[in-house]
Amino acid sequence: MQASEADLRALMIASLDGDKAAYRALLDAMRWRLCAYFRSRLSWDAAEIDDLVQDTLMAIHNHRGTYDRSQLFTAWSYAIARHKLIDHFRRSGRRQTVPLDDAAALFVTDESASVDARHDLEKALQTLPPATQALIRDIKLRELSNAQAAAARGMSETAVKVALHRGLKKLGAYFHGEGGPK
Amino acid sequence: MSDDLLRTLSADLAPVSRWTVARRLALGMSGGVIVSAVLMLVLLGPRPDMDQSMATAMFWMKLAYALAFAVIAGFAAERLARPAASARGWIKWLVVPILLVIVIAAFQLAGTAPAGRTAMLVGDSARVCPWRILFFALPPFIGLVWAMRGLAPTRLREAGAAIGLAAGGAGAFIYALHCTESTTPFLAIWYTLGMAASAALGWALGPLVLRWR
């Protein structure tokens, strides 16, 4: 769904007045945005992301009365997501800082394009063996070094490089050849 | 992710009033104020010269000063109970009562012989005044913490400071009904200090007590 701030805010205001269809559309749009948001700062652990997205959607629901109609809806919902993310870090005992002012980066108008891209990439990754998937996520998406990834997986650095090269080649073939999105 | 959740949530949708936040904060605040008022009447009692003092400007100025803090900080809290909202628009209004009281205090001090100035500044109760204000701020503070936890503050220190200051204003208002000090310099220093202490308490406790789920 290609929803802009203005669209989302209109849906939210209709929802506050009790429009269930608008609300359903809003939650649907938010679900993908939240997925992308948590993925970009957390991991690709699907269950973890799923929990956070559900938690956040429920918080949006339970606290919808705190939305001020003159406020940016994306800023409001993003702040809730960030609150949930910090909570998650606290619970899991990880000390991490969550940058405050990157709402814009995630909720720019054409942001759903990057959500779609993530979605496609995720599908493509599913076609690879699990070990290779993990390597690509570590190195290309979470920006670990080859050596760090090697240590984390108990592999030699050379083995990591070879597996990564093969995996990326396969991904390239996926996107350019059959089975690709275009 | 389950479509069930989305279906459940949208089925559960009921219209929401624009006054949800204000109403809840007002509820927490008034509960606390009632408790504080009862505590004041039981522990200290109203000032014995209430009838005469009500005819003086100073009586009303103390109440107005405290009320201004409670109201301005209360509006700030109403903003800070919302994710991503800012209270700067409200907080800056605090300069009005503060400047006003400082200017009046300066005139009163200037019009007093140097020998009498110390008495004007410390009165009879400077030692206990800020502590008592802080004490009577606690019940409204607790009420406001309860209210905030049901809302969604995301700047927990700022939200804590705002409800702390609002509670401080309420505590000062109630204490002013007992306190017999009658100079503006006293008000400017010790009342402000008591309310600021309450705000500081909120600032310190915010991240601990205002987390919501």
Cα–Cα distances in Å, from B16 out to A17, A97, B194?
Answer: 6, 34, 37
Are B6 and A65 an interchain contact pair (Cβ–Cβ within 8 Å)?
no
Average pLDDT value for residue range B134-148:
98
Residue A68 contacts B where some CB pair is shorter than 8 Å: yes
Provide, rounded to the nearest whole percent, the portion of chain A with pLDDT above 70.
74
The number of beta carbons lying within 10 Å of the beta carbon of residue A117 is 12
Residue B4 contacts A where some CB pair is shorter than 8 Å: no
Alpha-carbon dihedral angle through residues A180, B1, B4, B7, given to the nearest 10 degrees: -70
Are B12 and A61 an interchain contact pair (Cβ–Cβ within 8 Å)?
yes
**Quick one: pLDDT band at residue B181, thresholds 50, 70, 90?**
very high
Q: Output the pLDDT for position A80.
A: 96
Q: How far apart are CA B170 and CA B69, in angstroms?
A: 8
pLDDT 10s digits, B65-78:
999 999 999 999 99
Q: What residue of A is the nearest CA neighbor of B22?
A: A66
Q: What residue of B is the nearest CA neighbor of A46?
A: B1
Q: Output the pLDDT for position A161.
A: 80
Q: How far apart are CA A36 and CA A111, in angstroms?
A: 10
pLDDT 10s digits, A108-133:
444 444 555 566 667 777 777 777 77
Q: How far apart are CA A2 and CA A109, in angstroms?
A: 8
pLDDT(A167) > 70: yes
Q: Output the pLDDT for position A134.
A: 77
If contacts are CB pairs under 8 Å, which of residues 132-151 in chain B contact chain A?
151
Average pLDDT value for residue range B159-173:
98
Q: Output the pLDDT for position B42.
A: 97
pLDDT 10s digits, B24-81:
999 999 999 999 999 999 999 999 999 999 999 999 999 999 999 999 999 999 999 9
pTM: 0.77
Nearest chain B CA: its distance from A68 CA (Å): 8
Q: How far apart are CA A37 and CA A131, in angstroms?
A: 24
Average pLDDT value for residue range A12-25:
95
Nearest chain A CA: its distance from B19 CA (Å): 8
Q: Output the pLDDT for position A3.
A: 72
Q: What backbone phi and psi angles, to 5 degrees, belong to A161? A: -60, -45
Helix (H) or strand (E) holding A107: helix A103-107
Q: Output the pLDDT for position A39.
A: 87
Name the token pair of A29.
Answer: 């749009």
**Quick one: pLDDT band at residue A98, thresholds 50, 70, 90?**
low
ipTM: 0.88
pLDDT(B2) > 80: no
Q: How far apart are CA A139 and CA A141, in angstroms?
A: 6
- Chain A, chain B: beta-carbon pairs less than 8 Å apart: 86
Cα–Cα distances in Å, from A152 out to A139, A161, A177?
Answer: 11, 14, 32
Q: How far apart are CA A140 and CA A168, in angstroms?
A: 10
